[in-house]
Structure 1
Amino acid sequence: RVVRNSFQQEVNKRTLKELLNTQREQLMADVKREVLEAVRGADKPWGMDVVDVRITRVDYADTITRSVYDRMEAERKRVANELRSTGFAEGEKIRAEADRQREIIVAEAYRNAQAVKGQGDAKAAAIYAEAFGRDPAFAQFYRNLDAYKASFGSKSDVMVIDQSSDFFKSMRSAAPGR
Structure 2
Amino acid sequence: MRWLGPLLALLLVAGCAELAKSPDESRPAPGNKPAPALGVPKMRSDTLKYLASRNLKPQPTRPLNVRSRCTNKDGGGTRTRLNLLVKEAEVRTFDAEIAMKGRGSCRFRLADFDQVERLPQALLRNKRDPGCLVRMWEEGPRVTIAFNSCPQSCERDAFDYLWPIMVEAKSGRCF
Larger relative strand fraction: 2
The two structures share one fold, judged by TM-score above 0.5: no
Q: TM-score, normalised to structure 1's length? A: 0.24
TM-score by length of 2: 0.24
